[in-house]
Amino acid sequence: MQRKISVFDTTLRDGEQMPGVNMNIGEKLRIAYNLERLGVDIIEAGFPAASQNDMRAVEKIAENISGSAIAALARADKADIDAAVKALQKAKSGLLHIFIATSDIHLKHKLGKTREQLLDTVREAVSYGRSLYGNVQFSAEDASRSDPDFLIEVFKTAVECGAGSVCIPDTVGYSVPDEFGALVKRVVNALGGVPVSVHCHNDLGLAVANTLAAIENGASRFDCTVNGIGERAGNASLEETVMALKTRGDVFGVRTGIDTSMLSKVSKTVASVTGVYIPPNKAIVGSNAFSHESGIHQHGVLNDPQTYEIIDPRTVGIRSGTIVLGKLSGHHAFEEKLAELDIKQPQSITEAAYKAFKDLACRKSRIDDDDIRALIEEAIIDSHIVDGYELESYQTQSGDRIKAMAMITVSRQGSIYTEAATGEGPIDACFNALNRIVGKDYKLINYGIKAVTGGTDALGEVRVRIADGENEYVGKGVSTDIIKSSIKSYINAINRAMCTEIINGG
C-alpha cells in the first residue's frame, strides 16, 4: 500500500510575502475554501502577530474551514505564540507552527545568539507553546545551511519539549536534491518516527526537485504554494509536486489526498486574486502545458495523446472547449459553458457575467474560455460593492501637441456625476477626473495590463493599486477598450475603498 504524504499549503502565508501580493480577508477566505475542496491537509492561514489583519484572517479561516487543519505561524516568542493560539481558538483542527533560525550565519547576524542560547530559546518557546496548544510543529529556519549535528540537536530538543512534528526548510533555496535528500534522511533516522516536513524555496529553480528528494528519503509532509508563489523566486509548486508524485507513482510509491481535477481551477483562482499571472509555459497549469504546435507532435497526439502527453489534461481539470460562444449565443449556451468550465457561482453572479458577456460579444467575434473566467471574476469582485459608483460614459482627447483631457460620467444611488480633468495621457486624465468626482486625491501606486486572450479584439484586463494615506486598495476592470478597462479598474478600487469593512468580512 502506498505511503500517504500530507500536503501543507502556505499560499496564504508565504505566498502573500511575494512582492505585490496583498490579499484582504474575503480573498483569503475564498482561497481557503478552494484549498479545502482541493484536499489540502493543512492550510497555513497566516502570521497572526504580524498585523491585526493577519490575526483576523486566521481567525476567520479557522472558524469557517473544517475539512483541512489550520496552521498559524509564530516566532519563538511568547507574544507571537499567544497571538497564534488566540487566532486558532475556533479551529476544528489546528497546528501551532513555531520557528527560529538555526544556521550560524543567522545566529550571528540576525539573532545575536550562541548555539547554547538558541537551544534555551527553543526549550522555552516550544514548552510554552505546547502548554497552550495540543498540536505544535517546530521549524528550523535556514536548516539547509545549518550544521547537521546541531540541527538534529535542536530538533530533538523541540521534540522533548512537546513538538509533535518538525520541518526542515531550505529557506534560501540553496540545496541541491542529493544533498537535501541526505539531510532529510539523516534527520528522519535521528528522530525515530517523528513526522518530518520540508519547506523548499526556488532560488535555484530546485524547490520541487528538492521536495521530491525529501519525500524519497522519508519526509512525510511537504510545504508548497499554489502556482509556486512566494518570497523571492517562490516556493515548491503544489500542482507540480502533486502531479510528479501521481504521474511517477512507480518511482515514488506515495500518494496524496489531493483532488487533482481541481488543480487548474484553483490555480486560476489564486492567479486572479493575487494578480500574479500564470506563465504560459508553467508546468501542469500553464496555457501551453497541453498545447502542440509542431506538425509532428500534432500528428502523434491525434493518433494517440500519450505520444506527447504524459498527463491526461482532464486529470488536472483542463478540458477541450466544445462550446464556442459569440453574439448569437443565448443564456442556455452560456450556462452550458459555465458547467463545462466547472464554474459554480450564485445566480446573481452568473446573471451579471452574462450581461457583460452579451456586451462583449457585440464587440468580439469569438469569446474564449479565459474571457468567460475573467467576466466571472469581475462579477464576483463587483458583488462585494454596495452602492458603489458605476461608469456611464467617458470621452478622452489626446495627441502629441495637445494636453490630454477626459470627461467622465458615473452614477451612484440614482445620481449622476460628471467631471473633466487633464493629465499626462488619457488614462491619467481619466483617473484625475474620477478623483474629482469622489472628492479624494487617490494616488496610483501600481498599474498593470494584460490581454486575457489574443487578437486585435482581445479582452484587456487592467489592475490598479491606489493609496489613500497609509491604506491601499486594488481594483480590476476588463473590456476590449483598454481605456474603459482602466476606468473600470480605478472605479472598482474606489468602491473597494468605500466598503473596506464589507470586503474584509467585518
What CATH number corresponds to the domain at position 107?
A: 3.20.20.70
Q: In this structure, are residues 37 and 68 in contact, taking their beta carbons and an 8 Å threshold? A: no
3-state secondary structure 218-241: CCCEEEEEHHHCCCCCCECEHHHH
Count Cβ atoms within 10 A of the Cβ of residue 51 and give its class: 0-12 exposed, 13-18 middle, 19 or more buried: exposed
Same-domain check for residues 181 and 266: yes
Q: Could you report the per-residue pLDDT of 435-474, keeping only the tens digit for each?
A: 999 999 999 988 988 876 666 667 788 989 898 877 788 7
pLDDT at 148 over 80: yes
Same-domain check for residues 350 and 405: no
Same-domain check for residues 18 and 86: yes
- The arithmetic mean of pLDDT across residues 301-329, rounded, is 66
CATH assignment of the domain containing 499: 3.30.160.270
pLDDT at 504 over 90: no
**Does any domain span residue 298?**
no
Give me the pLDDT at residue 289, please.
Answer: 73
- The arithmetic mean of pLDDT across residues 333-348, rounded, is 83
Per the model's pLDDT, the better-predicted residue between 205 and 493 turns out to be 205
Give me the pLDDT at residue 156, please.
Answer: 98
Give me the pLDDT at residue 298, please.
Answer: 41
Of 214, 246, 274, the position where a domain reaches its end is: 274
pLDDT level of residue 174 (50, 70, 90 thresholds) = very high
Same-domain check for residues 31 and 122: yes
- The arithmetic mean of pLDDT across residues 143-151, rounded, is 98
Give me the pLDDT at residue 293, please.
Answer: 36
Percentage, residues of the chain above pLDDT 70? 90
Same-domain check for residues 436 and 374: no
pLDDT level of residue 385 (50, 70, 90 thresholds) = low
Same-domain check for residues 8 and 119: yes
Q: What average pLDDT does the structure give for the chain?
A: 89
- Write out the three cell numbers for 376: 466571472
Same-domain check for residues 114 and 220: yes
How is residue 263 annotated by DSSP?
Answer: H
Give me the pLDDT at residue 427, please.
Answer: 95
pLDDT level of residue 327 (50, 70, 90 thresholds) = confident
Same-domain check for residues 40 and 187: yes
Identify the weakest region by mean pLDDT among 107-111, 129-133, 458-462. Answer: 458-462
What distance separates the 2 farthest-apart alpha carbons in the chain?
76
Same-domain check for residues 441 and 409: yes
pLDDT level of residue 315 (50, 70, 90 thresholds) = confident
Q: Supply angle C-alpha 45, 57, 17, rounded to 5.
A: 55
Structurally, the chain folds into a number of domains equal to 3
**Does any domain span residue 402?**
yes
Same-domain check for residues 241 and 372: no
Identify the weakest region by mean pLDDT among 162-171, 255-264, 334-343, 429-438. Answer: 334-343
Radius of gyration of the chain measured on its C-alpha atoms: 25
Of 218, 245, 274, the position where a domain reaches its end is: 274
3-state secondary structure 7-44: EEECCCCCHHHCCCCCCCHHHHHHHHHHHHHHCCCEEE
- Helices 263-274, 238-247: inter-axial angle, 10-degree rounding: 170
**Does any domain span residue 285?**
no
**Does any domain span residue 309?**
no
What 3-state DSSP class applies to 414? Answer: coil
pLDDT level of residue 357 (50, 70, 90 thresholds) = confident
399, β-bridge pairs: 402
DSSP H or E stretch at residue 244: helix 238-247
How many Cα atoms within 13 Å fall on the side-chain side of residue 201? Answer: 20
Q: In this structure, are residues 430 and 423 in contact, taking their beta carbons and an 8 Å threshold? A: yes
Give me the pLDDT at residue 259, please.
Answer: 97
Q: Distance between CA 370 and CA 459 in Å, rounded?
A: 9
pLDDT at 164 over 90: yes
- The arithmetic mean of pLDDT across residues 195-210, rounded, is 98
**Does any domain span residue 293?**
no
Give me the pLDDT at residue 33, please.
Answer: 97
Same-domain check for residues 224 and 205: yes
- Write out the three cell numbers for 120: 534555551
Percentage, residues of the chain above pLDDT 90? 63
| Cβ-Cβ contacts under 8 Å for 4 (sequence gap 6 or more) | 254, 255, 256, 257
**Does any domain span residue 230?**
yes
pLDDT level of residue 506 (50, 70, 90 thresholds) = very low
**Does any domain span residue 90?**
yes
Same-domain check for residues 136 and 238: yes
Domain hosting 411: range is 390-503
**Does any domain span residue 100?**
yes
